[in-house]
Structure 1
Amino acid sequence: MSSTAPMVAESRALRALFALPILTLAGLMLRAFAMGEPIAPVLEKMLENSEFTWDGGSVKILKEFYGVPLLDEIFAHITVAFAQLQFFSDPKAYWHSLVFLTDFAGMYMVFLIEGYRPANKFPLVRFPLIIPLLSQLMGIGVVAPIYFFFFYVFTPAYKLTTPSLHRPGVAPCIALLPTLALAYFSSHFPSYFHPSLEARNWWNWIWQLFPVWGSFTMLVISKMISSVTKKQSTKDDSNQELVILRVTVYLLALISTATWWYTLPKIEGPISEVFMPQYFIESPQEPDECLRSILQYDYICTYSAGFLWLAYHFSDLEKAGICEVPWIRGLVVAGVVGVVVGPGSLFILIWLLREELLASQASVREPEKF
C-alpha cells in the first residue's frame, strides 16, 4: 500500500504540471478585471440613487430583494452591472452577454451531472453549487479554469473508463432538463426579453441565485425519480443514461445555436468587436468599453478552459486505446462547427462525444485499487 502512494502523488503532480495552461487562463481573467476601474464609480452612483441612467433615459433598479442584508448588499452591486448588459444601453454588450449566458446553461449542465459521478469526489467537482455560485461573485472566467484544472488533475483515465466510477445514474440524467428549465432559463430569458426594463432587473435578481435553485431542484427531482424507480443498476441503465444525455445535449445545443443565429444578424458593425477583446496592455477609459472588455475576456477564458479540459481528456482516452484523435483534422472540424453552431453548442457536443466513446466500450476491466 505504501509503495503505491508515491506513484499516485507523482501522477497527480505530473497531471497538474501538464494542465497548467488551463490555470493560466484564470490569471488572464484577473488582468481583465483590472480594466474595470473606470466603470466602478459610475455603477456605484447609480446604485446609490437606485436608478440606472444612460443617454436614452433612466430606470429604477432594486437595491434589496432577498430580505437578507448581506445577500442584498452583494447582489445589488452585481445586478446593477448586469443592468448595463441587459438594458440595451450598450448593444454590443447586450448581444454578447445574451449569447454567453445562454451558452453557459450547457456548461452548467456539465457541472451538474459531473457532480453525480462516483469517481468525482474532489469538492469543487462533487458539489455543483460551489463553482457556479463563486462564478456569480468572482466571474466564471476566473473559477471555470480552476474547476477544469482540478477536475483533470483528480480524474485520471481509469476513472473515466471504469463504468462503476463514471456512470452518474439514470435519475440525475432525467433531472437535468427540468432543473435547467426551472432554475436557469425561466429567469434568464425574461432578464433579456421582458418589455419592461424594471422587470428585467427583477428577473435578474431571481436568476443570480440559479446555483442555489438548481442544486435544490436537481436534488429533489433526482431523489423523487430514484424513489419511484428503485432497482439495481444494469447495463440497460447505461444505455438509458446515454439516450437521456443525448436528448438533453441536443436540446441545449438547439437553444444555444438558435440564440447564436438570432444574435448575429442583429449585430451592427464587425462581429469581432463584439466577441474579441480590443484591449490588453492598455485599459479602456470609457465605462461601456470597460465592462464590455471584461465580458469578452470572461467568455474567452471560460470556454478556452473548457475546450482545453476536453482536449486533455481525449488525450487520456487516446493513451488508453479507446480512440485515436486526428488532432489537426479535429481542430479544423471543430473550428468550422463552432462557427456554425457557436462555442457553447460546440462545447457540449464535444463533451457528448466523450460520453459516446466511453459508452462504446462494451466491457472494461476494473482497475487495481491503490
Structure 2
Amino acid sequence: MDQLGCRDALYACVEPIQWIYDRDSAGKLLTKPNGVSQLMQSRSGYGFAFSDRQDILQVLYDNLKDKSKVLVGKKLSLVRQQPNGVTVVCEDGSSYTGDILAGADGVNSKARSEMWRLADEQDPELVKADKDSLECSYRCLYGIASSSSGLTIGDLHVGYNKDCSLMTIVGKDDRTYYFVFEKMDKTYKLPHIPTYTEADKAEFAERHGNMKATENVQFRDIHKHGVSSTLVGVETASYKIWTWGRIACVGDASHKMTPNAGFGGNAAMESAAALANSIKKLADQIKEGRPTEDQIVACLQGYQENREVRAKAAIDASNLLTRVQALATWGHILFAKYGLTILGDFLENLGSNMAVGATLLDYLPPPEASLKGALPFNPEQGDGHKESFFRRALVALPFLGLFAYAIRIANPTFVDTESGGMFDATRNGTGLPLASLGGQSNRFAMLSGVSIAASEDTDLATSFRVATILAYFGVILAIWSIEAVRRCNALMPVQLPSLFAFFAQSKGVGIVAPLYYFLHWVMTPIDSFKATDMRLTRLNYTRAILPSLLLVYYLPLLQSYFLPDNLESQTWLQIWRYFPIWHSLAQWAISKFWNDTIDEDKISAPKRDVFTIRYTIAVPALMSTVVWLCTVLYTPVSLYHLFIPQQLAQTVTDVQSFSADVVQWDLLLFIASTYLWLFYFAWDAKSAGMLEKSWFELVLTMIFFTVMLGPGGTVGLAYLYREHVITEKRHRAALTVESVGRRAAVLNGRK
C-alpha cells in the first residue's frame, strides 16, 4: 500500500491497535497485555491497525489514476477461453476479452467455478479434490456496534472459552467490531455447509450474550448497540488449482482462512501484488505483439508458485489461533494457560513471521519506512521458509556422535574394592558426607572428582590440567546462562542451564556438552535472529550472571585451592559441589536488584544488553586465559602429554589415573563439542550471507587464539564475535537501506 502511494490516506481511516488482551471465560487476563502495535512498528516500520474493508477499498479506488477502467454493477455469468484470449460474459449480456482473467471475487468465486468447469474437462479428479478441500468447522457472528460499551479505542480483547471465543476491536468513531466464534457439531464440506437465517442469528447472539469481553463487559452489552451483523460458517481451504489456462484466482478465491489472525485480507493483497509482478515481468519480455498462451500459462503458474507456500502457512497459522482461542484440545488449553505466559509475544511473533516475507512490488521502489525496522522484510524468511528441525537434526548428528563416544570412553568405571568407591575428601572433620567417586560399575561424580584429584595430588601437571578444565567450564557456564535468558530460546531446553550444569558436574562435561550444543543448534537456526529484539536477553538476569558465578563458582574453587588449611579448603570444595543449584538461586536473587525492562527494551533498545554480555563473558574468559598462560609457562610436561589422552580411559583404579586419563578425555571432548558448535554457527551465518570471512581465515584465527589465549579465551572471543554477527549483520536477502542501495548501484552500473 505504501508503494502505491496509499499510506497517508490509509492511516487516516484506520485505528492502530495499541494493546491486545487475552482473557479467560471470566474475563480475567491470561497474560499481561501485549503492546503489539509498538513492537510491530519497531520491527517493520509499520504499525498494527484495523479498519472496515470498505474504507480500504475506498482508499485504493481514490488512488486510481484512471477510474474509467472500473466498471461497477457487473456480474460474471460465463467464461470462454480461446487460443488468443479469454472472454467474460456478464449477466447483462456485455462481454469483455483480454489476455488474462483474474478472479478476485471471494470464497464463493464465480470465476473459480468457471475455472473448475473448464479444468474438469481435462482433469476431473484434480477438480474433485479441490472442491473437497473447502471445509467448515466453525461458525462466526460478525458485527459492528455503534458504541464501545466502555472499552478503550485501539484495544483488542480476545476471550478464550471452551469451543467458542470472542474477539472485540474498538476502532475509529467509537465503533466496535466483534466476532463470536463457535465450534460446529462436525466438519462440513461443499455443498453441505450450513446457511443461517435472522432467527438463527438472534438465537446465537442470545445464547452467547454472557461471554466476557472484559471482567465488566459482556457480549450482550456490545451487541445491543449493533448496526449490522451476519452469522456465517467460517470456511477454510487451500486449493491446488489457482490457475488454469488464462484464468488466475486471487485472495479468498484461492486461499480461504479463518479470520482470527487477521491474515485473510492481507494475504489477498499479497496475491494481487504477486500476480502483478508476474504480469509485469511477462509484459517486459514481450517485444511486439501479444503473449502466447504458453507464455500466459507459465506467467500464471509462476504467480502460484510464488505465493502458495506462504498462503498455506497463513491458513495453518489462522487455524491454529482459532483452535487455541476456542480451547479445542487439551494441548490448546495448556498452551493458552501456560504457553501464552511464557511466550508473551506469541501474537506479535505470529504476525511478524507472516509479515517478514511479504510480497514486494518488484517494479516499484521499496518505501523508506520499510527499510529501517528491527525486522527487515525478507522474501527468504518467515512462514513458509522455516528450516526443518528434522533436517537440522540430521546435519547435527556429529554432536550425537561425540555424545556417544563420550559415554563409551570418557565416563569410566572406578574399581576400588577396598574403599567401596568412597573417597574421604573431608577427613571427616566437617561432618559432611564422604565424596563419592563411585564403585564398581558406578559412574564418577565428574567435576567433584576433578577437584578431589587436584586437592589430593601434589603433581603440578595434574593441578594445571584440572585448573584448565574448571576455568574453561566457567566460560561455558556464562554462555549457557546467557542463552537461557535470550528471547528466541523461550520454551527451549537450553533455558535450563543449571540442569545441564548438574549433569555436567555429575556425569562429565564431555558427555553433557555435545547434547546441549545439539539441542541448541537444532532449535536455534539463524532465522531466529531475523528480528534484532529476538537476540535480546532479559537484562536483569544477564546482569546477575557474573556476580552469581563469582560468588558460587569461582570463590569456593579459589578457597579450596589456596587456603592453607586442608580442612577448610575441603569444606569449601564440598560447598562448591552443588554450584548448579547455588547458581540458579543466586542469579534469581541478584536479578531482583534491577527492574525487568524486557518489555521496553524489545521495542526501543534491542541492543541494550550488549555491553553486559561483553563483560559477563570477558571476565571468565580472562580468568581462563590466565590459567592457560600459567599452564604454558610452568607445566613440567609438554602440552601434548598434558592435554592429549594417551590411552582409552575405560577402567580407573586410583585417583591419579582418574586425574590424568579421564580428565584429558573429558576436556578434549568438551572443547571439541564447543568448537564444533561455533563451526556450525559460522556455517549458518555464511549461508545467510551474515559472515563474509573465508573458512581459511576462520580456522586460522581459531588456531592462533587457541595457542595464544587457550580454549577458554578463544571461545569467549568467538562467542562475542557471534554476538556481534547476530546483532549487527543482516541476512543477504534482507531489504535494508544498505542492501537496496547496493542493488541500485549494481543496476545503474549495468545500465
Into which bin does the TM-score normalised by the smaller protein fall? 0.7 to 0.9
The percentage of counterpart residues that share the same residue type is: 24
Matched residue, 1:293:
661
Question: Given that residues 32 and 293 in structure 1 are in contact (C-alpha distance below 8 angstroms), is that contact kept between their aligned partners in structure 2?
Answer: no
Cα gap change, 1:2/1:329 in structure 2, threshold over 3 Å: closer, same or farther?
same
Shift of 1:243: 1.4
Cα gap change, 1:345/1:81 in structure 2, threshold over 3 Å: closer, same or farther?
closer
Deviations 1:241-277 (A, max 9, x none): 1112222222222211111112222211222111110
Matched residue, 2:601:
233
Match of 1:307 among 670, 675, 678: 675
For residues 411 and 616 of structure 2, what CA distance do their matches in structure 1 show?
37
Shift of 1:190: 1.5
Shift of 1:296: 0.7
Are 1:263 and 2:631 counterparts? yes
Match of 1:13 among 378, 390, 396: 390
Cα gap change, 1:270/1:241 in structure 2, threshold over 3 Å: closer, same or farther?
same
Matched residue, 1:160:
529
SS in 1 for 2:612: helix
Cα gap change, 1:108/1:168 in structure 2, threshold over 3 Å: closer, same or farther?
same
Are 1:87 and 2:456 counterparts? yes
For residues 418 and 709 of structure 2, what CA distance do their matches in structure 1 show?
36
Structure with the larger helix share: 1
Deviations 1:3-39 (A, max 9, x none): 658989971111111111112111222222464444x
Cα gap change, 1:143/1:355 in structure 2, threshold over 3 Å: closer, same or farther?
same
SS in 2 for 1:119: helix
For residues 304 and 360 of structure 1, what CA distance do their matches in structure 2 show?
27
Give the counterpart letter for 1:249 in structure 2: I
Give the counterpart letter for 2:502 in structure 1: L
Matched residue, 2:406:
29
Question: Given that residues 430 and 571 in structure 2 are in contact (C-alpha distance below 8 angstroms), is that contact kept between their aligned partners in structure 1?
Answer: no
Question: Given that residues 513 and 670 in structure 2 are in contact (C-alpha distance below 8 angstroms), is that contact kept between their aligned partners in structure 1?
Answer: yes
Deviations 1:226-247 (A, max 9, x none): 25x6871257633431112222
Q: Give matches, 1:1-370, under 5 Å.
A: 11-33=388-410, 35-38=412-415, 40-41=416-417, 44=420, 47=423, 50=424, 60-61=427-428, 65=432, 72=433, 78=445, 79=448, 82-226=451-595, 232-233=600-601, 237-280=605-648, 288-361=656-729
SS in 2 for 1:60: coil
Shift of 1:92: 2.4
Structure with the larger strand share: 2
* Greater displacement, 259-268 / 270-279: 259-268
Question: Given that residues 36 and 291 in structure 1 are in contact (C-alpha distance below 8 angstroms), is that contact kept between their aligned partners in structure 2?
Answer: no
Question: Given that residues 253 and 345 in structure 1 are in contact (C-alpha distance below 8 angstroms), is that contact kept between their aligned partners in structure 2?
Answer: yes
Question: Given that residues 513 and 674 in structure 2 are in contact (C-alpha distance below 8 angstroms), is that contact kept between their aligned partners in structure 1?
Answer: yes
For residues 15 and 80 of structure 1, what CA distance do their matches in structure 2 show?
35
Question: Given that residues 175 and 218 in structure 1 are in contact (C-alpha distance below 8 angstroms), is that contact kept between their aligned partners in structure 2?
Answer: yes
Question: Given that residues 277 and 296 in structure 1 are in contact (C-alpha distance below 8 angstroms), is that contact kept between their aligned partners in structure 2?
Answer: yes
Shift of 1:283: 6.3
Cα gap change, 1:246/1:315 in structure 2, threshold over 3 Å: closer, same or farther?
same
Shift of 1:327: 0.8
Q: CA RMSD for the aligned pairs? A: 3.1
For residues 216 and 181 of structure 1, what CA distance do their matches in structure 2 show?
14
Shift of 1:63: 8.3
Shift of 1:338: 0.7
- 5+ long unaligned stretches in structure 2: 1-309, 317-382, 439-444, 736-751
For residues 435 and 393 of structure 2, what CA distance do their matches in structure 1 show?
33
**TM-score, normalising length: structure 2:** 0.43
For residues 42 and 324 of structure 1, what CA distance do their matches in structure 2 show?
59
Larger Rg, first or second structure (1 or 2): 2
For residues 164 and 321 of structure 1, what CA distance do their matches in structure 2 show?
20
Deviations 1:185-205 (A, max 9, x none): 111212222222222221111
- 5+ long unaligned stretches in structure 1: 53-58, 66-71, 366-370
For residues 14 and 354 of structure 1, what CA distance do their matches in structure 2 show?
23
* Greater displacement, 24-33 / 130-139: 24-33
Cα gap change, 1:359/1:60 in structure 2, threshold over 3 Å: closer, same or farther?
same
Question: Given that residues 256 and 345 in structure 1 are in contact (C-alpha distance below 8 angstroms), is that contact kept between their aligned partners in structure 2?
Answer: yes
Deviations 1:143-177 (A, max 9, x none): 11000001111111111332232211322222222
Deviations 1:271-310 (A, max 9, x none): 2111110003986776523442111111111121111111
Matched residue, 1:368:
none
Give the counterpart letter for 1:141 in structure 2: G
**TM-score, normalising length: structure 1:** 0.83
Cα gap change, 1:7/1:220 in structure 2, threshold over 3 Å: closer, same or farther?
same
